[in-house]
Amino acid sequence: MEVIFKIDAEEDFLHILKEILNNLYNDYNTPIKLTNKNAVATAKDELKDLIYETNCVSEDVYELLTSRGFLKERSKMVASLIESMKSELLYSTLLNHNSVYGKSLAAFDWAVKLVYGTSELKKLKYPLLQLTLTTLSKGKQQQQIFDINKEMLLEMINVLENIDAQS
């Protein structure tokens, strides 16, 4: 993280820090002001350790950074930025951790469509639910799209209700 703290302009420092935190678990190109990819990777690893150690608590982040000899003003800026992004950082940390052990659901989206016909049947009318699941497995993101008819949807709802009743 020393490379980040050595950036002269405060605005550049914050911009690069935000960029790195937003892409903490992504393979992302090196920020414009930092040309050393190894330095960015090291900074990411140190920020991940900082998140693990402090649980994104502002005071703990500040104390840890100042104990490592970083400037107090910059340490306050880092602590407040991490505090403001706490929920996103903890969520991405948990998701990334879980994806090491198998597929983890990162996001889902759905759309209801009305099918008026197919190539076999010209006059047909039935509703269709299209479910898009975005999964993460070992850092790789993948999308799966499912077309679900009414019967399958009812069965899915029953399964989910049974799971909810058992817990």
Q: Contact 72/64 with Cβ under 8 angstroms?
A: no
The domain spans of the chain are 1-98, 104-162
The CA-atom distances, in angstroms, between 68 and each of 37, 53, 78 are 23, 14, 14
Q: What does the pLDDT look like over 112-155, one tens digit per residue?
A: 888 776 666 666 677 788 999 999 998 788 999 999 988 898 99
Q: What is the share, in percent, of the chain residues with pLDDT greater than 90?
A: 47
Task: Count the neighbouring beta carbons within 10 Å of the beta carbon of residue 112.
Answer: 9
Of the pLDDT bands very low, low, confident and very high (cuts 50, 70, 90), residue 33 is low
Please state the pTM of the whole predicted model. 0.70
Q: Which residues contact 156 (CB under 8 A, 6 or more apart)?
A: 148
Of the pLDDT bands very low, low, confident and very high (cuts 50, 70, 90), residue 111 is very high
Query: What is d(CA 64, CA 70) in angstroms, rounded to the nearest whole number?
Result: 9
Q: Which residues contact 32 (CB under 8 A, 6 or more apart)?
A: none
Identify the residue with better confidence: 104 or 125.
104
Provide the pLDDT for residue 123: 63
